[in-house]
Amino acid sequence: MQRHLIHKTKRDYIIFTYNGKSYSMQTGKEGEEGEIVKKSFRMGWEAYNEIRDLVKSKLKEGYELQLFIPEGFFLERDENENFLKDGQIWEEANANSDYLGSTNLILVDLENKSEVIEKLDKGLEYLKSLKESGYLYLENNSSMAELSFFELNEETSLKEVYFFSEVLKHYPDLENKVIIWLDYAIELRDGIYTDRRYIFDNVASALVSFNPEKYIDKYLDFLNTWDWNHETDAESDCIGILIDKYGTQDIGLKAMAARRTFLAGQHGTEMEIDEYLEDMSVEQSDRFFQYVLLGLVKENKKLNDPKHAGHYQEANTIVRVYLEDILSELGCNCDKDRMIMAVANVNKENPITLCQLMDENYEFPLSSEFCIEVGHKETSKQNFDKSVAFFSKAIEQTPYSADAYLGRGYAYYCQKDMKNAELDWLKSLELFPESVTANRNLVEIYTAYNPNYEKALKHINKTFLLNNHPKSGDYILRGNIYEKLGETEKATADYEKGLASKTLTDYMAYTELKITLNQFEKALEIISDEKVVKPQTKRYNGNSYVIALFLEGVALIALKKNYAQTKLKIEEQFEKTVYNKWNFQLIDQWLKTASLEEGQKEKIQDLANYILTNRSTNY
pLDDT at 29: 86
> From CA 548, how far away is CA 534, in angstroms rounded?
9
Q: Which residue ranges of the chain lie beneath pLDDT 70?
A: 1, 78-81, 83, 85-87, 89-103, 135-143, 153-157, 190-198, 229-235, 266-273, 536-542, 617-619
pLDDT at 231: 66
Q: At what angle do helices 199-210 and 212-223 cross, to 10 degrees?
A: 150
pLDDT at 386: 95
Pick one of 1.25.40.10, 3.40.50.300, 3.40.50.2300, 3.40.50.280 as the CATH number of 433-501.
1.25.40.10
The domain locations on the chain are 1-66, 79-226, 433-501, 502-619
> From CA 402, how far away is CA 427, in angstroms rounded?
7
**CATH placement of domain 1-66:** 2.20.140.10
Element containing residue 183 per DSSP (H, E): helix 175-188
pLDDT at 497: 93
pLDDT in tens, 171-201: 999 999 999 999 998 887 766 654 445 678 8
Predicted structure pTM score: 0.74
At residue 185's C-alpha, the angle toward residues 182 and 190, to 5°, is 155
**What letter represents residue 249's amino acid?**
Q
> From CA 585, how far away is CA 590, in angstroms rounded?
8
> From CA 406, how far away is CA 438, in angstroms rounded?
7
270-286 CB burial, b ≥16 within 10 A, e <16: ebebeebbeebeeebbb
Element containing residue 142 per DSSP (H, E): none
User: Do residues 550 and 611 touch, judged by C-beta distance below 8 A?
Assistant: yes
> From CA 584, how far away is CA 174, in angstroms rounded?
75
